[in-house]
Structure 1
């Protein structure tokens, strides 16, 4: 199934211009599964065509999905009249069918080109619930994230939670920590950031704690 929407040129007053020479058309392609439950409509491609005056450019993105409807590969083809600007984002998932945790990735990679043979541009690993890499999540709380900085090194971010699953702290590469303080299980009282130098800034989020202009309070 394909759906298309068009947007005409807009004047400064916010209305479509008469005889506008600028417009954008977006076409969405879907793969439909309607034979049995669960029904699905997966957005497999987006094509955007933009016309400005006499110039027309078309951009295209295609997507692949796993059995759970997660995007496993998204290819940005860039301009369809040019080669060399394609980028692939590939995502791998570990699912927990018993708890129906189906959409959390454990690995995401970005490549130049349209397949896994291209140059690796970016790679991120995700760890959940304090468990080993690729272990199926039990609660779904992201506890460690590793972002590759070179082919042999990476930056690690860690996250802590309370018993309700609310995030309490996020530490980036062991240097900077952001913490969330709550007076109630789901209500944030203040947000604090501690730098590697030991300097800490607190940003209250309740009216009684605000300073002039709601600026962070150094502590």
Structure 2
């Protein structure tokens, strides 16, 4: 099915609003890279045998020097899944503030497969994300002001995105229209949560001990096992 010009214009408007929100955090917030480095297992992922290149280019802490795979992998491991949903809620919210046309989004969801896929992917990402667990990763940060500020933005945007997705789909809960997937995630998440909490403890110990510690190799091995376990439980690395 080919979208109408109105639907294309609607998507363009939503995308523009979402892009500005995304850039304001990822590119313009001075504490964002520090948050990404410390509130995810980014550095520990570098010791996994995946890919043929390092997690990021040496000698740089700039966003542009990050590799795509660890960017998504680290956010997924920490149950924040930022690349999969962040800024979508703002895009929809600002569109609705300007047009007051929720019916248009609902019609697009029911008739346009591309838009339906976007919304269903958002449902999956929001369901796999877990803010309570993600907060434990955020608490690993040394700078609590940055941690509270950025995690606060993530939590607010998460709730905004979830609320609007439910309005568009007409559901009471996420994935109500995909019950087999909802049940699969519901059964797996409680098994993954303890691994995440163990991972936070091990990574915190690793970073406190330092690479010169006698315990470092043992702690690293255990941390990498939790990374493998979380990836298997969530059924994706990113």
TM range (shorter): under 0.3
> Which one has a larger percent helix, Structure 1 or Structure 2?
2
Higher RCO (CA < 8 A, seq sep 6+):
2
Instruction: Name the TM-score, length of structure 2 as normaliser.
Output: 0.23
Which is greater in Rg? 1
> Which one has a larger percent strand, Structure 1 or Structure 2?
1
Instruction: Name the TM-score, length of structure 1 as normaliser.
Output: 0.24
